[in-house]
Each structure stands twice: as structure tokens, then as C-alpha cells.
Amino acid sequence: MNKIDRRSFIEHIFGWTGILALTTGALKYISSSKSKQSTLSKVVIGGKQELFANTDAIEYMIGNDKTIIIQYDDELKAFDAACTHAGCPVNWDSRSRNFICKCHGGVFNEKGDPISGPPRTSLKQYKVLLRENTDEIILYK
């Protein structure tokens, strides 16, 4: 029977532990980068003329995930409705043209930048395009 000394035993254990840690880390990285790619999707929201007929903002839900799309200088802008302070939902106020968070009084301007209250970072913004020939709004999340 082979007798293993203490040093060899420790090197053996750390060697396998290191290999296991590297493999686990690599698999986590691969799986997270795959999931990030798969969550980026293109969603056809609908016709702009119809959706924006009587409003300057629309809300679009994917599950519990709310996106607010507003008209801004003849462009469309899409924002995640989760407040950057503590995640409460923000709402669009057409009169002031600001996003309001009722939880702690956070206010964001129409560029999504914080202008009042506790939030310090801008609302997350998504790419949104208008397909001119079909009048379709395309949201990329």
C-alpha cells in the first residue's frame, strides 16, 4: 500500500479543488453569457399611430417586467420602469413629463436621469426603433 505524506496529501487535495473551482467558474461564465444572449430579444410592440394616438407614453409588460416607451423630440425612448433607488415601479407623468416613483418620491426626467429624491442613477434604457414602412415599434430587451 502506498504511504502518502502530509505534503503530498495537501497538494493532492488543493490540486483537485483548484481544478474543480476552475471548471465550475468556467461553466458558470459560459452559462451566464449564454443566458444574457438569450434574454436579449426583439419584440414587436405594435403600430405607433395607433398606440400613441391619444398619449405620449405607453407601458409594455413582459411578465412582471414593465417597460415605458415615451415620445421624446420625435423619437421613441424606452425605459425599464424599475426605480434605480430600490426597485419600485415608476410611472410616467404626462403633465410634468417626468417619471415618478411613489415609494420615496424619486423623480426622473424624460431622459431617465434622476432629478429629485433618493435615486442617484438613471433609469435603465432599452433600444427602441420605429420601422417606418410598417409603422411598427420594435423593442430590444
Q: Are 138 and 132 in contact (CB under 8 A)?
A: no
112 part of the interface to ligand FES, by CB under 6 A: no
Nearest one of 70, 125, 58 to 98, comparing CA atoms = 70
119 part of the interface to ligand FES, by CB under 6 A: yes
Give the three-state DSSP class for 10: helix
- Candidates 45, 58, 81, 85; binder of ligand FES (CB under 6 A) is 85
- Candidates 98, 117, 124, 130; binder of ligand FES (CB under 6 A) is 117
- Between 71 and 91, name the residue whose CB sits nearer to ligand FES: 91
d(CA 27, CA 71): 42
- Cβ count within 10 A of residue 136: 15
* Cell numbers 410598417: residue: 134
- Between 57 and 137, name the residue whose CB sits nearer to ligand FES: 57
Options 2-10, 40-48, 62-70, 111-119: segment touching ligand FES (CB under 6 A): 111-119
Q: What residues make contact with ligand FES under the rule CB under 6 A?
A: 83, 85-86, 88, 101, 103-104, 106, 117-119
